[in-house]
């Protein structure tokens, strides 16, 4: 039976919120509080200027922005017109941004002024017709507009375009860990399916899931879980613009404490830092967090152990998601948490493992993890061949190797592309990484394969040490040796000051593979 969802698009959410609770604060951004009615007015205003600029249903509008209430307002303004949001990684450089703008066929670009170095020439290098500058325009003319001035002259002339929930609403570009980014096309049905399933899975009440949004808003995990979810439940988004300093981190924890958040969404790097941080006693005593949910990258079991030693209240829960699935696929919950797993599939989603020929394998058998349900993307933008390779009979092939146990708990063993094959023997890098993470000196690590002339691969380890620690290659090899079979032993240990990461902390193994091939 097909799921029936309440909303047709993003814009209809804030219309309903404003009708039901006009004065309720829905966004907290520093000292600024924005009510449901104010958010609707801002979205109407920006939508009117976009319509004046010629934006129509189906047109692509891109964002290269910092976390802010303006980012949130733009989501709903774009939706009012039936246009398509393209949220771009603000860590990218000029040519990388150009690639995405051209690939997505974006017509308008919103840019924070701090990214002007990489965005101001996009009006020349791409088909972007106008740039709307947030936080101050470096240049003003008919094609470069100042966001603040638009807001200072409010109007509500844009007509609402009532598009079907199954039409394209958002394009999220994959992180590019294995090559050029591809645009995953997500409908509003995809996103609403994911928020609905999260609400059911986490057993949260309407109005009862304020979320701290401190991870980059352009990321699918952040956008769905810490922006759309708390707005669709009329709960509230607490915008944290940065956690670059200890003061920022302290502010984040203060907001978690004061706003009495039941769940906290993060990435492994954040939980690694929290497990080491000396937090005030009153935070541990009075926080309301039932579950600290980790996603976007694998969570080392050593981090879970250390976190559990520090946090006696609130469990660290590993989840699993992928951009093409809107993105949350599964997560552990406080009342059903299997250490080492990424939890059960969210309600209404199916997760099973398949072999190379796409035959479903029995439970507890290793295979490629595949997902079926309303979360699965529409396809890759302008890439029908990639889409047909990836979505087979409604099953999305994640490219992750793992298993589903008899109770439905999912275990991720490794990325299919990361698998190392040595003389016909499979070596899963994550197995080696988990052992290395138990070394007190290691901050993060990554294992990649070095191929020889006979096409056999041997593991090479890249390590980023903790501050004020030193280690040698021999020391790490001696540490690993008792735990691994001889064919799994790393050939080389390479120390780096900082491993390459994407915006959410995921290690870019593609870059490491390029480095190892130069050895």
Residues 16-37: pLDDT tens digits? 999 999 999 999 999 999 999 9
Whether residue 177 is predicted with pLDDT greater than 70 in this model: the reply is: no
Identify any residues that bridge with 445 across adjacent strands, giving them in sequence order: 463
The Cα 7–Cα 16 span in angstroms is 9
Task: Give the pLDDT confidence of 437-481 residue by residue, as tens digits.
Answer: 999 999 999 999 998 765 678 999 999 999 999 999 999 999 999
Identify any residues that bridge with 311 across adjacent strands, giving them in sequence order: none
The Cα 145–Cα 128 span in angstroms is 13
Two structure tokens written together for 320: 């699993």
Predicted local confidence at residue 131, as pLDDT: 98
Whether residue 172 is predicted with pLDDT greater than 90 in this model: the reply is: yes
Averaged pLDDT of the chain: 93
Predicted local confidence at residue 129, as pLDDT: 98
Predicted local confidence at residue 454, as pLDDT: 59
Two structure tokens written together for 104: 């997505």
Q: From the CB of residue 120, how many other CB atoms can be counted at a distance below 10 Å? A: 18
Q: What is the DSSP string of 123-183?
A: HHHSS--EEEEES--SS-BTTEEEHHHHHHS----PPP----TTSEEEEEE---TTSS--E
Whether residue 400 is predicted with pLDDT greater than 60 in this model: the reply is: yes
**pLDDT grade, residue 302 (50/70/90)?**
confident
Angstrom distances, CA of residue 5 to CA of 375, 378, 381: 13, 17, 25
The Cα 303–Cα 384 span in angstroms is 40
| pLDDT (mean) for 122-148 | 96
Residue 52: helix, strand or coil by DSSP? helix
Q: From the CB of residue 466, how many other CB atoms can be counted at a distance below 10 Å? A: 14
Nearest to 330 by CA among 435, 271, 403: 403
**pLDDT grade, residue 428 (50/70/90)?**
confident
Predicted local confidence at residue 67, as pLDDT: 97
| pLDDT (mean) for 374-394 | 97
| pLDDT (mean) for 151-170 | 95
| pLDDT (mean) for 196-219 | 94
**pLDDT grade, residue 159 (50/70/90)?**
very high
Task: Give the pLDDT confidence of 232-284 residue by residue, as tens digits.
Answer: 999 999 999 988 778 888 899 999 999 999 999 998 888 988 988 888 889 99
**pLDDT grade, residue 63 (50/70/90)?**
very high
The Cα 63–Cα 218 span in angstroms is 8
Contact 84, 170 (CB under 8 A): yes
């Amino acid at each position: 039976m097909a799921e029936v969802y309440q909303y047709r698009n993003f814009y209809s959410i804030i219309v309903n919120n404003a009708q039901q609770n006009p004065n309720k604060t829905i966004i907290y951004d520093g000292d600024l509080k924005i009510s449901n009615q104010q958010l609707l007015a801002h979205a109407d205003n920006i939508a009117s200027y976009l319509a004046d600029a010629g934006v129509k249903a189906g047109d692509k509008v891109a964002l290269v922005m910092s976390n802010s209430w303006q980012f949130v307002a733009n989501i709903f303004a774009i939706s009012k017109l039936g246009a398509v949001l393209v949220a771009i990684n603000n860590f990218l450089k000029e040519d990388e941004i150009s690639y995405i703008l051209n690939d997505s066929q974006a017509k308008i670009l919103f840019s924070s002024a701090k990214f002007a170095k990489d965005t101001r020439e996009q009006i020349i290098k791409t088909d972007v017709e106008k740039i709307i500058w947030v936080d101050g325009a470096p240049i003003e003319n008919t094609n470069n507009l100042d966001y603040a001035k638009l807001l200072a002259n409010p109007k509500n002339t844009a007509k609402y375009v009532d598009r079907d929930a199954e039409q394209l609403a958002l394009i999220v570009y994959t992180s590019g860990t294995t090559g050029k980014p591809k645009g995953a096309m997500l409908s509003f049905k995809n996103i609403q399916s994911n928020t609905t399933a999260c609400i059911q899975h986490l057993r949260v009440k309407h109005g009862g899931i304020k979320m701290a949004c401190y991870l980059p808003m352009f990321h699918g995990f952040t956008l769905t879980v810490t922006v759309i979810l708390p707005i669709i439940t009329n709960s509230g988004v607490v915008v944290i613009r940065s956690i670059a300093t200890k003061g920022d981190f302290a502010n984040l924890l203060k907001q978690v404490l004061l706003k009495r958040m039941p769940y906290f969404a993060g990435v492994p790097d954040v939980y690694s830092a929290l497990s080491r941080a000396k937090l005030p006693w009153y935070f541990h005593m009075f926080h309301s967090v039932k579950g600290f949910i980790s996603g976007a990258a694998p969570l080392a079991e050593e981090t879970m152990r250390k976190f559990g030693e520090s946090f006696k209240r609130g469990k660290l829960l590993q989840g699993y998601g992928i951009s093409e699935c809107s993105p949350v696929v599964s997560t552990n919950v406080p009342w059903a948490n299997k250490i080492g797993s990424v939890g059960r599939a969210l309600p209404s989603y199916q997760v099973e493992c398949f072999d190379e020929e796409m035959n479903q394998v029995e439970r507890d058998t290793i295979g490629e993890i595949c997902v079926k349900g309303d979360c699965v993307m529409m396809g890759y933008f302008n890439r029908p061949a990639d889409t047909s390779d990836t979505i087979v009979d409604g099953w999305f092939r994640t490219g992750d190797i793992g298993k589903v146990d008899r109770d439905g708990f999912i275990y991720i063993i490794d990325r299919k592309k990361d698998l190392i094959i040595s003389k016909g023997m499979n070596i899963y890098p994550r197995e080696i990484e988990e052992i290395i993470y138990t070394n007190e000196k290691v901050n993060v690590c990554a294992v990649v394969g070095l191929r020889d002339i006979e096409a056999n691969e041997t593991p090479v380890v890249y390590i980023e040490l903790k501050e004020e620690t030193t280690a040698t290659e021999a020391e790490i090899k001696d540490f690993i040796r008792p735990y691994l079979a001889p064919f799994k032993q790393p050939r080389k240990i390479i120390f780096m000051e900082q491993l390459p990461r994407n915006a959410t902390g995921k290690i870019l193994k593609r870059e490491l593979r390029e480095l190892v091939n130069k050895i």
